[in-house]
């Protein structure tokens, strides 16, 4: 059963509340052929078109995450190209003056390593880094909890080999 349509103001509020999620997903899935801004527009369109189907079975943030990841994956498939890592402006990521150069370097290295992961691996590790539980990750990605645990273990091994 679909919800009644929401107003533009409600949609704007939801996008603002969840902009960190949307921006992060777009940042990590952006490619040279699918720039960050284009991908973010795709996510906004998909959120707008899907809003009436949000039933409240999960937290709104979990649902936004799912829609954003699915929109990114669909946009990438449409491009029919392999994911390539591109250098992006870190302006929207809070690399405040409170962190030192070593911490900043670690964040940049983490981004580089995550960018090399498979699409689904990126989604899993980003959710895990945001401290979602295995059950929440499973619900968001549409996998079984044990599959998420196994994949996350393998992702950690893969990342540790890159260090």
Tens digits of residue pLDDT in 3-52: 667 889 999 999 999 999 999 999 988 888 889 999 999 999 999 999 88
Q: Which domain holds residue 19?
A: 8-162
What pLDDT does 4 receive?
64
- Per-residue pLDDT tens digits for 38-77: 999 999 999 999 988 888 888 899 899 999 998 988 888 7
What pLDDT does 98 receive?
58
Does any domain span residue 109? yes
Q: Decide if pLDDT at 91 tops 60.
A: no
Does any domain span residue 61? yes
What pLDDT does 40 receive?
94
The per-residue DSSP string of 7-44 comes to: PHHHHHHHHHHTHHHHHHHHHHH--SSS-HHHHHHHHH
Does any domain span residue 1? no
pTM over 0.75: no
- What is the mean predicted confidence (pLDDT) over 104-123? 83
The answer to whether residues 78 and 30 touch, using CB atoms and an 8 Å cutoff, is no
Does any domain span residue 3? no
Number of domains in the chain: 1
What pLDDT does 84 receive?
47
pLDDT above 70 covers a percentage of the chain that reads: 85
| Mean pLDDT for all residues in the chain | 82
| Gap between the Cα atoms of 124 and 81, Å rounded | 21
Which residue in this structure is represented by tokens 């699409």? 119
Does any domain span residue 85? yes
């Amino acid at each position: 059963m679909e919800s009644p349509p929401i107003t533009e103001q409600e949609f704007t509020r939801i996008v603002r509340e969840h902009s960190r999620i949307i921006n992060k997903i777009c940042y990590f899935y952006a490619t040279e052929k699918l720039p960050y801004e284009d991908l973010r527009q795709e996510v906004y369109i998909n959120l707008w078109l899907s809003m009436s189907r949000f039933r409240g079975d999960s937290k709104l943030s979990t649902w936004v995450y799912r829609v954003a990841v699915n929109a990114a994956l669909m946009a990438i498939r449409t491009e029919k190209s392999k994911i390539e890592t591109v250098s992006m402006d870190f302006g929207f990521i809070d690399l405040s003056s409170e962190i030192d150069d070593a911490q900043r370097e670690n964040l940049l290295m983490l981004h580089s390593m995550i960018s090399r992961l498979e699409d689904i691996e990126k989604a899993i590790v980003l959710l895990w880094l945001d401290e979602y539980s295995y059950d929440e990750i499973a619900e968001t990605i549409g996998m079984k909890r044990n599959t998420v645990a196994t994949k996350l273990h393998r992702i950690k091994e893969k990342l540790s080999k890159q260090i």
